[in-house]
């Protein structure tokens, strides 16, 4: 795998990753800005509008036809938060040129289409097209309303809101219904233009070939951006632990209660924190899975996850209401056991193998290649995969115990079954 990074403009870089084994070409444009909660809904609408149509293909039907002509190519967008950074992704994928039946330049066509979406959107009179705006606005409102239907996901959202109250990460990535209803096609277009001005832009291309002509196309397009003022990106945005844990119970019309615990630390070492989570609750052989779920039968699932950039660990579980308090106490007891070093060498070694296998799987897919290069960028870590593997292998029982002892309970959220709607 060959990797070349070059500057295309102020705060704009292109990384070309060439991997002969891949049969597709992928291009991803990342627009990265500090999280500003009042802009979340506008950015959510803008990113969806940009990939549904453009001036040349002014509705979803014509866009779909064009993608079908390119052997079923795809263009997508998404949003997520990493620490204090909003990540807005526009990406496209198409089969490699060598598989085109008539010798078409599919990579070039995909690049042109993605650039049309980004720089020549479906706009009239300084506003996104009214018809397309109406469609995407309804879809966003429907998605916000439907969020509560995924009870496990919604419980995690509510726990984050409580744990990070007053911080940008407490706000919904797509905004609220009220935020959306304040917008119109013109204000969303203005948010899009502001995004192009404020964002750090990282572009990634992955495929069996990433020719210089691709870089030239992208250079010509992004080089036209003027009045650029990219902002500093706060990937590390620690959340101070509360003086005492906050407990919130919300009755809801559900058949299975959801229990989420948030633990916070400070300046936790990257690899040690992730290995701790794997031992504690991030794997099928972890302490929480083996003991709280399997041996004690206190929950349907019980897992831990690290919240990037926040020095925070979330543990979420599905429980019967009668077992909620017992499950909480058992989860805390497993943490206490880890603080004392009461976990087996086998669990630690298996957790290391899990982390190592994930690292050595980088390069199996275009997305994993991009994620790896991007993570090395925002962590400012130039280490190779093998160097990072060795870091995990070098971690000791004492390193994991230190992480356990650095964590304190911050939030307890219970979505209680049997309540009203």
Q: Tell me: the pLDDT tens digits for 149-192?
A: 999 999 999 999 999 999 998 999 999 999 999 999 999 999 99
| Residue 365 reports pLDDT greater than 70 | yes
Task: Return the closest-CA partner of residue 19 out of 31, 40, 6, 2.
Answer: 2
Q: What's the rounded Cα separation, in Å, for the pair 261 and 140?
A: 29
The full set of domain ranges for the chain reads 2-222, 246-416
Q: Mean pLDDT across the stretch 394-408?
A: 98
The reported pLDDT for the residue numbered 226 is 86
| Residue 91 reports pLDDT greater than 90 | yes
Backbone angles phi, psi at 84, to 5 degrees: -110, 25
% the chain with pLDDT above 90: 97
Task: Return the closest-CA partner of residue 343 out of 285, 263, 421, 418.
Answer: 285
The reported pLDDT for the residue numbered 106 is 97
DSSP class of 272: H
Q: What's the rounded Cα separation, in Å, for the pair 239 and 251?
A: 27
pLDDT tens track for 271-311: 999 999 999 999 999 999 999 999 999 999 999 999 989 99
The reported pLDDT for the residue numbered 271 is 97
Q: Which residues pair with 77 in a beta bridge?
A: 90
The reported pLDDT for the residue numbered 1 is 81
Contacts of 300 (CB under 8 A, 6+ apart): 256, 293, 317, 318, 319
What pLDDT band is residue 421 in, cutting at 50, 70 and 90?
Answer: very low
% the chain with pLDDT above 70: 99
Q: What is the sign of the dihedral through the CA atoms of 271, 275, 278 and 281?
A: negative
pLDDT tens track for 217-272: 999 999 989 889 999 999 999 999 999 999 999 999 999 999 999 999 999 999 99
Q: Mean pLDDT across the stretch 15-38?
A: 97
The reported pLDDT for the residue numbered 420 is 54
Q: Report the top-level CATH class of 246-416.
A: alpha beta
The reported pLDDT for the residue numbered 233 is 97
Q: Mean pLDDT across the stretch 97-110?
A: 95
The reported pLDDT for the residue numbered 189 is 98
| Residue 378 reports pLDDT greater than 90 | yes
Terminal Cα distance for the chain, rounded: 53
Mean of pLDDT over the chain: 96
The verdict on domain 2-222 having CATH code 3.30.830.10 is yes
Count of CB atoms within 10 A of residue 155's CB? 25
| Domains 2-222 and 246-416 alike in fold | yes
| Residue 389 reports pLDDT greater than 90 | yes
């Amino acid at each position: 795998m060959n990797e070349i990074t070059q500057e295309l403009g102020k705060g704009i870089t292109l990384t070309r990753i060439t991997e002969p084994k891949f049969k597709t070409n992928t291009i991803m444009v990342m627009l990265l800005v500090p999280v500003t909660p009042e802009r979340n809904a506008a950015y959510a609408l803008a990113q969806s509008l940009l990939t549904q149509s453009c001036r040349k293909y002014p509705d979803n039907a014509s866009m779909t036809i064009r993608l079908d002509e390119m052997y079923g190519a795809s263009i997508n967008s998404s949003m997520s938060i990493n620490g204090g950074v909003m990540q807005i992704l526009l990406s496209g994928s198409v089969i490699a040129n060598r598989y085109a039946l008539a010798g078409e330049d599919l990579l070039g066509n995909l690049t042109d289409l993605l650039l049309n979406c980004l720089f020549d959107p479906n706009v009239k009179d300084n506003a996104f097209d009214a018809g397309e705006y109406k469609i995407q606005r309804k879809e966003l409102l429907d998605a916000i309303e439907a969020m509560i239907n995924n009870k496990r996901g919604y419980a995690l959202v509510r726990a984050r809101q409580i744990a990070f109250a007053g911080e940008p990460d407490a706000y919904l990535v797509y905004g609220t219904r009220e935020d959306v209803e304040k917008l119109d096609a013109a204000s969303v277009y203005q948010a899009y233009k502001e995004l192009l001005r404020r964002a750090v832009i990282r572009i990634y291309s992955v495929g069996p070939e990433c020719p210089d002509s691709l870089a030239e196309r992208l250079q010509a397009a992004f080089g036209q951006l003027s009045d650029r003022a990219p902002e500093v990106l706060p990937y590390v945005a620690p959340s101070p632990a509360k003086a005492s844990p906050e407990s919130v119970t919300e009755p809801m019309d559900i058949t299975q209660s959801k229990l989420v615990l948030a633990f916070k630390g400070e300046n936790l070492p990257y690899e040690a924190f992730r290995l701790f989570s794997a031992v504690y609750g991030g794997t099928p052989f972890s302490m929480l899975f083996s003991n709280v779920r399997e041996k004690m039968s206190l929950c349907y699932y019980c897992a831990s996850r690290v919240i990037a950039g926040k020095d925070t660990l979330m543990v979420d579980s599905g429980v019967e209401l009668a077992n909620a308090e017992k499950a909480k106490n058992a989860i805390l007891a497993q943490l206490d056991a880890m603080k004392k070093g009461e976990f087996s060498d086998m669990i630690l070694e298996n957790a290391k193998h899990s982390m190592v296998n994930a690292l050595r799987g980088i390069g199996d897919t275009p997305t994993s290649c991009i994620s790896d290069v991007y993570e090395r960028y925002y962590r400012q870590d130039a280490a190779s995969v093998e160097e990072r593997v060795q870091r995990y292998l070098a971690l000791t029982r004492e390193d994991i115990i230190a992480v356990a002892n650095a964590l304190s309970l911050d939030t307890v959220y219970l979505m209680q079954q049997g309540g009203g709607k």
